[in-house]
Amino acid sequence: MYSEKVMDHFTNPRNVGEIENADGVGQVGNAKCGDIMKMYLKIEDGIIKDAKFKTFGCGAAVATSSMATELLIGKTIKEAEMITNKVVMEALDGLPPVKVHCSVLAEEAIAAALQDYKIKNGLVEDNMYEGCSGCCGGCGSHELRREHLHAEHE
Amino acid sequence: MADMEKKIIYLDHAATTYVKPEVFEVMKPYFDTEYGNPSSIYSIGRSNRKAVEDARISVAKSIGAAEPSEIYFTGSGTESDNWAIKGAALALKKKGKHIITSNIEHPAVLATCEFLQKQGYDITYVKVDEEGLINPEDVDKEIRPDTILVTIMMANNEIGTIQPIKEIAQVCKKHGVLFHTDAVQAAGNIPINVKDLGVDLLSVSGHKFYGPKGVGMLYIRKGVRIESLIHGGHQERNRRAGTENVPGIVGFAKALELANINMEAHYKKLSSLRDRALKGITDRIPYTRVNGSMEKRLPGNLNISFRFVEGESVLLMLDMKGIKASSGSACTSGSLDPSHVLLSIGLPHEIAHGSLRLSFGEINTEEEVDYLIDALDEIINKLRNMSPLYEDFTKGV
């Protein structure tokens, strides 16, 4: 049911762990839904120097977290903001339809960690993601964010 | 143990079993040489008729039925459940439209009840206690003048809990209400005697006790009238049309017969493996809990929750070590909610997500159980080290 890449990232997840004094930390999902992702970022001069994660969830949740950290490292913040669930999914050679929400969670974890960084550094005025549980995109919050991003990058 | 990693360690006998060689042997002729239709009058038809009727006699004996004519072969346990429930609902709709079931039934019963609800029937779900047991008095309290059927499973497929079927049957009898039990998980594991139990309808599936897939049975007590669901032939005394699955039926009867002969040894072996696994796992891995009653439980069933981890991840890692098991997590069911059974016995969602069902069988060994314990210890550790829930817990958040 999973691609070889998903199984590879699940079996040997990259960048598992925490970053002490991380510049950005984001946690999305909730235990009730069975998925929690916590993303840690080390950012220097606008570049993501390191990314680590901890995930409670299924094989796809672990694999998307792992892939997300690989995609993040070395990117600028602007580039990191372009890592959507689709990008993560494609990098993993796809996910079964019932697991697509795991890639949405990865996108939301990235967004939450970047948002945390921006807040810490006074780079945002409105904190539009505060209080978002980000569970499975059910509340539509990631759709909102996507529209927002779309408008920003157009 | 390196050689074990290439071997399959099958711990999912509640999902299905292999077919025993003795069973496969008696089925074989009906595929190629004795392939006639039981309804044909020439010799290879007649020999098939005899095979089906001999199987019926054997099954009747195995479950303590008064007459072979009370045994009806079907295509699966699910079909038997559908037939019993929908058949009773259709036959008795003039008397009433109220059906009582439990909230831990197999989907074959639950989804059938939901279907009937959409057709205007009223369904009451009796709750189970924290061990997964039903109190017969609760069934008694729910029976109304328009109650036409009570359907409660004999043993649960996820947590192995064995229900007080005899007592529930007595309650139903007192009120003159039909009683059906889904005995799919019970058959072959614990004794079934329909006369002693006092049930009106009982479903069994062939592939849970080392028989073939694609064949089930519904016991319909003599005098009980339920509507037929499959029309178009005179088979099964005009009540279930379709050419009989002769090899399947022959295999079903043989497997049930063998299960009855071996029951004591089977029970002893499986419960001993189960208890060894339980002790090893709980001794080695902290923050675990067993789900379901330990006394009223199927011999081969073990259902454990590991806190801070998710079930599908555990299954995938077990699979990589050759161990085949099952889980009650949402991710294995394709929905967002974990097992309805685990939620019904009061488990919070996050703990239900981290549950594992192991169902032992006759081929399993103590060596395999020990390998399982080592594997689980390593896997749960690895997943907990990856889990933000465990991180919060260890930091006291």
- pLDDT per residue over A69-88, tens digit each? 999 999 999 999 999 999 99
Q: Which of B331, B335, B339 to mutate to test the interface with A (most CBs of A within 10 A)?
A: B331
Q: What was the pLDDT predicted at A153?
A: 46
A3 to chain B, any CB pair closer than 8 A? The answer is no
Give catalytic residue positions of A: 33, 102
Q: What was the pLDDT predicted at B263?
A: 97
CB contact under 8 A, B386 and A61: no
CB contact under 8 A, B320 and A11: yes
Quick check: helix, strand or coil at residue B165? helix
CB contact under 8 A, A31 and B353: yes
Q: What is the DSSP letter of B297?
A: B
Q: How confident is the model at residue A154 (pLDDT cuts 50, 70, 90)?
A: very low
Query: Distance between CA atoms of B283 and B370, rounded to whole angstroms?
Result: 12
Q: How far is B274 from chain A (nearest CA, A)?
A: 26
Closest Cα to residue B348, out of B337, B356, B332? Answer: B337
A32 to chain B, any CB pair closer than 8 A? The answer is yes
Q: What is the DSSP letter of A75?
A: -
Integer CA distances (angstroms), A47 to A18, A27, A41, A67, A70, in order? 18, 20, 10, 18, 14
Q: What was the pLDDT predicted at A152?
A: 46
Residue A38 predicted with pLDDT over 50: yes
B386 to chain A, any CB pair closer than 8 A? The answer is yes
CB contact under 8 A, B329 and A34: yes
Residue A147 predicted with pLDDT over 60: no
CA A137 to chain centre: 13
Helices (H) and strands (E) in chain B, counts: 15, 13
Q: Strand pairing of B9-10 and B147-151?
A: unpaired
Measured CA angle at A126 (ends A120, A130), to 5 deg: 70
Please provide the average confidence, as pLDDT, over all residues in chain B.
Answer: 95
A64 to chain B, any CB pair closer than 8 A? The answer is no
Q: How many percent of chain B have pLDDT more than 70?
A: 96
Averaged pLDDT, B201-212: 98
Averaged pLDDT, B107-124: 97
The residue type at A48: I
The string of pLDDT tens digits covering residues B1-50 is 445 556 899 999 999 999 999 999 999 999 999 999 999 999 999 999 99
Q: What was the pLDDT predicted at B334?
A: 59
B384 to chain A, any CB pair closer than 8 A? The answer is no
CB contact under 8 A, B336 and A34: yes
The string of pLDDT tens digits covering residues B251-310 is 999 999 999 999 999 999 999 999 999 999 999 999 999 999 999 999 999 999 999 999
Query: Distance between CA atoms of B59 and B256, rounded to whole angstroms?
Result: 7
| H/E stretch holding B88 | helix B77-91
Q: How confident is the model at residue A133 (pLDDT cuts 50, 70, 90)?
A: very low
The string of pLDDT tens digits covering residues B358-386 is 999 999 999 999 999 999 999 999 999 99
- For the entire predicted model, the pTM comes to 0.90
Query: Distance between CA atoms of A130 and A127, rounded to whole angstroms?
Result: 6
For residues B12 and B319, is the Cβ–Cβ distance under 8 A?
no
Q: How confident is the model at residue B331 (pLDDT cuts 50, 70, 90)?
A: low
